[in-house]
Amino acid sequence: MKYITEYRNPEWVEKYIHKLNQITTQTWTIMEVCGGQTHSLVKNGLLSMLPQKVQMVHGPGCPVCVTPLHLIDKAVYLAQQPNVILCSFGDMLRVPGSQKSLLEAKAQGAEVRILYSPLEAVQLAKENPQKEVVFFAVGFETTAPANALSVLHAQRQGITNYSILASHVLVPPAMEAVMQDETATIQGFLAAGHVCTIMGLSEYEPIVQRYQIPIVVTGFEPVDLLEGIYKVVQQLEQGKAHLENQYSRVVKPEGNPEARKIMAQVFEICDREWRGIGTIPKSGYALRPELALYDADQKFEITLEKAQESSECIAGQVLKGIKKPHQCSQFGKKCTPITPLGAPMVSSEGACAAYYHFAQTKEETESIITQ
Amino acid sequence: MCLAIPGKIISIEKQFNDTTRMAKVQFGGIIKEASLEMVPAAKINDYVLVHVGVAISIVDEQEAKKTFQYLAEIGELDELMPEN
Ligand code: SF4
């Protein structure tokens, strides 16, 4: 087994669609929390294959999309300091700040680098002792351990010209925020497989109980997603609400204790602002106070006015699954991936960009829009 | 962002005075480095799930087969039912 192609097999996809058609008797609304899953559902054309009665809505699980505007502004500010090399994952570069994106700052001469791993940023700091290297560390529980590890690597090697600008967000509080919105209509969740790889399953049982809602921890390939959706629909049809793990080849019930140990050495839980949604209590990670040396927010004096969001962008409602991207008046008009008004149009995991990129033919657009 | 893909460990080496295990991991035709600090049990030839340069889980072959067994099961059950 190579663990990829098997899960993309069209024959298995069709079998699952067939099974889903057989068991679905009424309309169900299911949210996939993770942007990676949104991307895969849209890219693989699964949304238009699902039974009409199975409505997928797209969740807030795109870290790029929920990074607040003022943090983007901070990253841009740092990048423009003469002594700083600002690094991040590729997706972050195009997110519009209130004045400009990191990419625009780069075009104007700021030293901005795209890296594959935060560990490379530590290496960069080692090679450039006369510079300050700042890693713009965004991500959910999946990415937080790697970002934490970069701080430990710097510490281990006595590297002091490395710091991170942390914007870490946590999934369970966001799911609660979605459920507590009075306009929410979500009846089942696909939980984010790679987040659970780190955190395990225990955080989700209380959500299942509190809201009597099925949650199925799900992978990212077409067959994974369809099995996850099938398991949610099966529970809904039978009037059940359980926690299930579709992605057991990767997700152990206890998660990854080593990763959590590394995370706990570096981060502590804090309240976090989510772009378009607002502040959610206990929904993020900040660096522990004793690691202030590695915290860009404390290392550099950053004085910036807090900017206002564009009033035309309804990203908050899109991220909570209340509206679909095409219901935004600017979708595909003023707002396109080349001229994004909001972050969900920037990242390929943002619902707006996913719809824009993959709904290329008219039929596909229509089949997505009629859902 | 939370993209993580499975690859096969082809070699392992130690770094930072033996405190850190790093591996070369093969993804199709591409080989990349990944830290094994979060998967202490990982060994050569294991498939690990790698996210931003860090292995976060060892892929379990027995569990992997379940998805396909499950589908076969629900398929068979179905054939037992007269209306299908
Ligand atoms: S289409 Fe653009 S403006 Fe509308 S919600 Fe999405 S990102 Fe915001």
3-state SS, residue A34 = strand
Q: How many Å lie between the centroid of ligand 1 and the Cα of residue A352? A: 6
Above 70 in pLDDT, residue A122? yes
B78/A19 CB distance under 8 A: yes
Q: Are A309 and A278 in contact (CB under 8 A)?
A: no
Pocket of ligand 1 (CB under 6 A): A 312-315, 318, 325, 328, 330-331, 335, 340-342, 344-345, 352
Whose CA is closest to atom 1 on ligand 1? A331
Above 90 in pLDDT, residue A166? yes
Give the total number of structural domains in chain A: 3
**pLDDT at site A319:** 84
Above 50 in pLDDT, residue A241? yes
Alpha helices in chain A (DSSP H): 10-23, 35-43, 46-49, 63-66, 69-79, 102-107, 118-127, 144-156, 171-180, 193-199, 205-211, 222-237, 257-266, 296-299, 315-319, 351-358, 362-369
Return the closest-CA partner of residue A217 out of A208, A209, B71: A208
Low-confidence winner among A244-258, A302-316, A332-346 (lowest mean pLDDT): A302-316
DSSP tag of A308: P
Neighbours of A84 (CB within 10 A): 21
pLDDT (mean) for A187-204: 95
Burial label, A127 (beta-carbon count in 10 A; 0-12, 13-18, 19+): exposed
The residue from A245, A264, A285 where one domain ends is A245
Instruction: Identify the band that residue B77 occupies on the pLDDT scale cut at 50, 70 and 90.
Output: low
**pLDDT at site A222:** 92
Q: What is the mean pLDDT of chain A?
A: 90
Are A144 and A35 in a shared domain? no
Q: Is there a domain that residue A28 lies in?
A: yes
Are A97 and A126 in a shared domain? yes
Q: What is the pLDDT of residues A2-59, one digit of tens each?
A: 667 778 888 888 888 999 999 999 999 999 999 889 988 988 889 989 999 999 988 8
Beta bridge partners of A168: A139, A285
Greater confidence (A151 vs A369) lies with A151
3-state SS, residue B78 = helix
Query: Could you list the residue range(s) of the whole structural domain that residue A341 is in?
Result: 326-369
Tokens for A328?
């935004």
**pLDDT at site B9:** 95
| Ligand 1 pocket mutation pick from A62, A318, A326, A339 by most atoms within 8 angstroms of CB | A318
Break chain B into its structural domains and give their ranges: 5-79
CA distance A151 to A156: 9
| Residue linked to tokens 């799911």 | A175
Instruction: Identify the band that residue A294 occupies on the pLDDT scale cut at 50, 70 and 90.
Output: very high
Are A261 and A230 in a shared domain? no
- CATH number for the B5-79 domain, one of 2.30.30.140, 3.40.50.261, 3.40.50.720, 3.40.430.10? 2.30.30.140
Residues 6+ apart with CB under 8 A from A159: A122, A125, A126, A153
